[in-house]
Structure 1
Amino acid sequence: MIPIYILLLMVIVSSSFLFATSFAVSTDWSTAIRIKVDQSGYGDYKKIQDAIDVVPSNNSYNVLIWIEQGTYIEKVVVPADKPFITLSGSNSSTTIITWSDHGNIMECPTLSILATDFVARNLTIQNTYGAGDTAVALKVSADRAAFYGCRILSYQDTILDDKGMHYYSSCYIEGATDFICGDAASIFKKCHLHSTSERAGAITAQCRKSPFSSTGFIFLGCNITGVDTCLLGRPWGNYSRVVFAKTFMSSAVLSQGWDDWGHPSTHSTAYYGEYQCYGPGAATSGRVEWSQNLSNKEAKPFLTMDIIGGGAWLKPPPTHFENFSSIIYNSVDGNKY
């Protein structure tokens, strides 16, 4: 008789090999392998990380990890060698990934994206640590990551938009201090930014370090609210670049708009612009002198998808699915592992 631990090892190795060899060469993005995560035990896995772990290294097939509603208390990492993964729930208010950690900005995130071509849909991603220290909910450290209809919540450094080209659409992002930070090239379209700061906390802390870098944060058609007062941003890097265009700004936005973080030398190097914004917090008459009220010509480059490579890598959700459980069932002699 073969010991059970050897049988289990054979299952893992053979199923991963089948997964890799059968589907790794697909380029049909309308079809995806679907892995179901369900805490109640009716899916392929009960934990999100377990579903990610089964995806083979150097995957090149579209993998949808469908997460049933529930609160998943786990720290989740999508490794650099596992591209083309989508994490999706049906409703962000009922599908929640949560953790509480703080301190090291690279190690404390609830969800860390290290792989290219990642997508998240309809999820809440939160770090519940609260005030007093860095507490990242989402870290994105790879190219071509997109987020649709997600709620991303923390207090300080909510999103570490670390590096790469990223797209956020119709997301709710909440925090108090520098809650969108990093040195990525990102577009935030029709997102709701809510400041929980009780006194002039900054929404952004963009970290562009060179005038030749193509990075920056662009907010298009967004909505800014707050419980008290907030600033649009402050420079984490000397050449910090942030543009708000056609965005509603509530009275929570202070008239000065921007802060230099105690480094007046950044007045001549940071690029902070506003274009056709509206609402009680959008009046530019009280803005700091070193920010810019952009003309049509000046704003034009920021109203396209160019900063994220034209957006050619953005893909619609798949419409056809191959269930992971069916693949395993049919893998060897018709017997389910």
Structure 2
Amino acid sequence: MVLGCGIVISVILLASVLAADSDADPSTAILIEVDQSGNGDYRKIQDAIDSVPSNNSDHIFILVKPGVYEEKIVVPADKPFITLSGTEATKTIITWSDSGEIFESPTFSVLASDFMARYLTIQNNYGAGAKAVALRVSGDRAAFMNCRILSHQDTLLDDKGRHYYSNCYVEGDTDFIFGNGASIFQKCHLHSLARGMGAITAQRRQRAEEETGFTFVKCKITGVKSAVLGRPWGKYSRVVFALTYMSKVVVPEGWDDWGESSKQRYYYRTAYYGEYKCYGAGASTSKRVKWSRSLSSQEAAPFLREDMIGGSSWIRSVPSHFRRISGAQGPKRNS
């Protein structure tokens, strides 16, 4: 999977800083630069986020220059329309070390709506053996492009809201994609670090009327030893893998009942675990648990489109024009 530049952001930014006003125009954004060397508007990412006004209605593009940023970051709920972008994920790294409660341990927490991240590594380097969230996504309409999300247990808390992940790399060992978001993962690489039996997903849909679930389309699954595709954190847990490569790390049973075999009869009626045209050594469905599904083309169709999360109306491309807020071209505001 390519996590490289794709777009030469630095060149675009230097050539395109304009003074035009356009609050609602998605092709124009306010530019803020973060650079540890002191050649930007801020040295720290959190300081750049804090500078965005509450109830912001402009598109804010925060360009993060390469470096290792040891920060615990929160994008508050009252600061929507922020894009945070590096130029290459392996060179723009946000890292912290924390464990414990899943809503407090994340290295990076997104509480705002209409957030986007591009070309970043987000990691919790606490290590194995404890809940250590790298990324928490609790805002609606959030997208992550060409990002690396790294930890062990509970790597990605896809908590609530509609989310889109494209060309991302996610690794962990236990329930490393979990929560109750309505999310599509497209062309993502999922890597299990488990040295015993790992679990890739733990989706938490708890009622039939909830329009939530995880869909993985044209993804890739690899790992160290063995893993199940998912286990039901919620009674109505919903996960679909479509057109996805599954290495032999995926065990023949495919899915797990979380050690509650007495509840399998309920999962048969309530959980929705589906697979559609997946391939590779771990993709055979002949020995899958009886309460999983091999989907027909008609059954899979609703899960294969961004329309499932309304993505075509809110996933933003990189702006073509940039402007500075008043005073931003004066003395650098380094923290």
**TM-score (ref. length: structure 2):** 0.90
Q: Which amino acid aligns with 1:307?
A: M
The residue number in structure 1 matching 2:301 is 300
**Is 1:313 aligned to 2:311, yes or no?**
no
Task: Report the alpha carbon displacement of residue 329 of structure 1 after superposing the two structures with TM.
Answer: 5.3
Q: What is the CA–CA distance in structure 1 between the aligned matches of 2:47 and 2:316, rounded to whole Å?
A: 25
Contact 2:39–2:332 under 8 Å retained in 1: no
**Is 1:79 aligned to 2:76, yes or no?**
yes
Q: What is the CA–CA distance in structure 2 between the aligned matches of 1:167 and 1:40, rounded to whole Å?
A: 32
Q: What is the CA–CA distance in structure 1 between the aligned matches of 2:34 and 2:294, rounded to whole Å?
A: 47
Task: Report the alpha carbon displacement of residue 322 of structure 1 after superposing the two structures with TM.
Answer: 1.2
The residue number in structure 2 matching 1:280 is 281
The residue number in structure 2 matching 1:53 is 50
Contact 1:260–1:267 under 8 Å retained in 2: no
Q: Which amino acid aligns with 2:267?
A: T
Task: Report the alpha carbon displacement of residue 297 of structure 1 after superposing the two structures with TM.
Answer: 1.2
Q: What is the CA–CA distance in structure 1 between the aligned matches of 2:231 and 2:297, rounded to whole Å?
A: 24
The size of the alignment, in residue pairs, is 310
**Is 1:220 aligned to 2:210, yes or no?**
no
Does the residue aligned with 1:133 lie in a helix, a strand or coil? Answer: coil
Q: Which amino acid aligns with 1:29?
A: P
Contact 1:214–1:307 under 8 Å retained in 2: no
Match of 2:249 among 224, 249, 252: 252
The residue number in structure 2 matching 1:28 is 25
Task: Report the alpha carbon displacement of residue 267 of structure 1 after superposing the two structures with TM.
Answer: 3.1
The residue number in structure 2 matching 1:238 is 235
The residue number in structure 2 matching 1:266 is 267
Task: Report the alpha carbon displacement of residue 200 of structure 1 after superposing the two structures with TM.
Answer: 1.7
The residue number in structure 2 matching 1:122 is 119
The residue number in structure 1 matching 2:105 is 108
Match of 1:155 among 137, 140, 152: 152
Q: What is the CA–CA distance in structure 1 between the aligned matches of 2:34 and 2:75, rounded to whole Å?
A: 15
Return 5+ residue gaps in structure 2 as ranges: 1-19
The residue number in structure 1 matching 2:7 is none
Q: What is the CA–CA distance in structure 1 between the aligned matches of 2:119 and 2:306, rounded to whole Å?
A: 23
**Is 1:89 aligned to 2:86, yes or no?**
yes
State the structure with more CA Rg: 1
The residue number in structure 2 matching 1:9 is none
Does the residue aligned with 1:50 lie in a helix, a strand or coil? Answer: helix
**TM-score (ref. length: structure 1):** 0.89
The residue number in structure 2 matching 1:173 is 170
Task: Report the alpha carbon displacement of residue 335 of structure 1 after superposing the two structures with TM.
Answer: 8.7
The residue number in structure 1 matching 2:37 is 40
Q: What is the CA–CA distance in structure 2 between the aligned matches of 1:293 and 1:154, rounded to whole Å?
A: 31
Task: Report the alpha carbon displacement of residue 260 of structure 1 after superposing the two structures with TM.
Answer: 0.7
The residue number in structure 2 matching 1:328 is 327
The residue number in structure 1 matching 2:139 is 142
Aligned-pair RMSD on alpha carbons? Answer: 1.6
Task: Report the alpha carbon displacement of residue 309 of structure 1 after superposing the two structures with TM.
Answer: 2.1
Q: What is the CA–CA distance in structure 2 between the aligned matches of 1:297 and 1:279, rounded to whole Å?
A: 23
Identity of aligned pairs, percent?
63
Contact 2:40–2:332 under 8 Å retained in 1: no
Does the residue aligned with 1:178 lie in a helix, a strand or coil? Answer: strand
Contact 1:328–1:336 under 8 Å retained in 2: no
Contact 1:215–1:307 under 8 Å retained in 2: no
Q: What is the CA–CA distance in structure 1 between the aligned matches of 2:28 and 2:199, rounded to whole Å?
A: 41
Q: What is the CA–CA distance in structure 2 between the aligned matches of 1:297 and 1:221, rounded to whole Å?
A: 17
The residue number in structure 2 matching 1:70 is 67
Task: Report the alpha carbon displacement of residue 336 of structure 1 after superposing the two structures with TM.
Answer: 8.6
Task: Report the alpha carbon displacement of residue 319 of structure 1 after superposing the two structures with TM.
Answer: 1.0
Contact 2:41–2:328 under 8 Å retained in 1: no
Q: Which amino acid aligns with 1:123?
A: L
Does the residue aligned with 1:179 lie in a helix, a strand or coil? Answer: strand
Distance 1:212 1:320, change over 3 A: same
The Cα offsets for residues 93-120 of structure 1, whole Å up to 9 and x where unpaired, read as 0000000000010011000000000000
Contact 2:56–2:79 under 8 Å retained in 1: yes
The residue number in structure 2 matching 1:8 is none
Contact 1:165–1:307 under 8 Å retained in 2: no
Q: What is the CA–CA distance in structure 1 between the aligned matches of 2:84 and 2:239, rounded to whole Å?
A: 28
- The 4+ residue runs of structure 1 with deviation greater than 6 A are 334-337
Q: What is the CA–CA distance in structure 1 between the aligned matches of 2:259 and 2:66, rounded to whole Å?
A: 45
Q: Which amino acid aligns with 2:324?
A: N
Contact 2:252–2:284 under 8 Å retained in 1: yes
Q: Which amino acid aligns with 1:60?
A: S
Return 5+ residue gaps in structure 1 as ranges: 1-21
Q: Which amino acid aligns with 2:33?
A: K
The residue number in structure 2 matching 1:16 is none
Q: What is the CA–CA distance in structure 2 between the aligned matches of 1:132 and 1:175, rounded to whole Å?
A: 11
